[in-house]
Amino acid sequence: MSRMILDQPLNTEQPQSLVDLKNQEKDLLYIDVRTPQEFESMHIANSRNMPLPDLPKYLDELRKLSREHSLVFVCRTQNRSQMACDYLGANGFTNCHTLEGGMNGWIALGKPVIKGQHRLSLEGQVRAIAGGMILIGVALGFTVHSGFFLLPAIVGAGLLHAGLTDSCLMGLLLSKLPMNRIGNSPSASGKKGDSV
């Protein structure tokens, strides 16, 4: 599996010509592994939404697509897309790449996106819940019983673990909630919204 700096693979030793890159771009298929709500709020034109927790359901479809296209997996920062590539690599896929820098990198370079209704990202939900639990634990620790200070300690340990392992149990659990699984947009086509 390789990482791609937007449209150009990192694993090439010699710089490709502009013609080669343009031809390669036609063969790229962007697979967005974020939640349907994140995808609805902003995505790359003509990308497909296949949320990371549901990826096993898409294996047959991805095998067919990988015969015609190089699959470029997209998420917000590149963490989930790397997990997707690792999973598919373990299942025999050899034509998968991650988008270097994820959507954040794509937007920073001024690449076009389709914008829809803004929704809180999965990472934003994790940070909001973790911050809320810490505040509640500290407040209850000072006002009710000192045992409540254990709550911020547990949340802090969970955040430390997530940072060190680059995986987040809370994020995986939140991705299974109905609000993060069912979107109002046509998640496979990405045609709703305004192009920016």
| CATH H-level, domain 1-196: superfamily | Rhodanese-like domain (3.40.250.10)
pLDDT digits (tens, 9 = 90+) for 23-58: 455 589 999 999 888 898 889 999 999 999 899 999
pLDDT attached to residue 161: 83
- Of 33-37, 95-99, 124-128, 184-188, the least confident: 184-188
For the chain, the structural domain boundaries read: 1-196
pLDDT attached to residue 177: 77
Residue 86 binned pLDDT confidence (cut-offs 50, 70, 90) = very high
- Tokens 């794509």 correspond to 106
Rounded Cα distance between 61 and 51, Å, is 14
State both tokens at 77: 């920062």
Closest CA to 175 of 93, 56, 75, 53: 53
pLDDT digits (tens, 9 = 90+) for 105-120: 999 998 989 988 766 7
Task: Note if 168 is an active site residue.
Answer: no
pLDDT attached to residue 22: 42
Rounded Cα distance between 47 and 115, Å, is 13
Kindly report the CA angle at 28 between 180 and 108, in degrees rounded to 5?
65
Coil, helix or strand at residue 61: helix
Which among 75, 85, 96, 168 is annotated as catalytic? Answer: 75
What is the chain's mean pLDDT, rounded?
Answer: 78
pTM: 0.57
State both tokens at 129: 């819940």
The size of the chain, in residues, is 196
Residues 6 or more apart whose CB falls under 8 angstroms from that of 114 comprise 42, 43, 44, 45, 190, 191, 192, 193, 194, 195, 196
pLDDT attached to residue 48: 93
% of the chain surpassing 90 pLDDT: 40
Rounded Cα distance between 4 and 2, Å, is 6
Q: Tell me which of 11 and 35 has the higher pLDDT.
A: 35
pLDDT digits (tens, 9 = 90+) for 137-176: 999 999 999 999 999 999 999 888 887 887 777 877 787 7
Residues 6 or more apart whose CB falls under 8 angstroms from that of 102 comprise 74, 75, 76, 77, 78, 79, 81
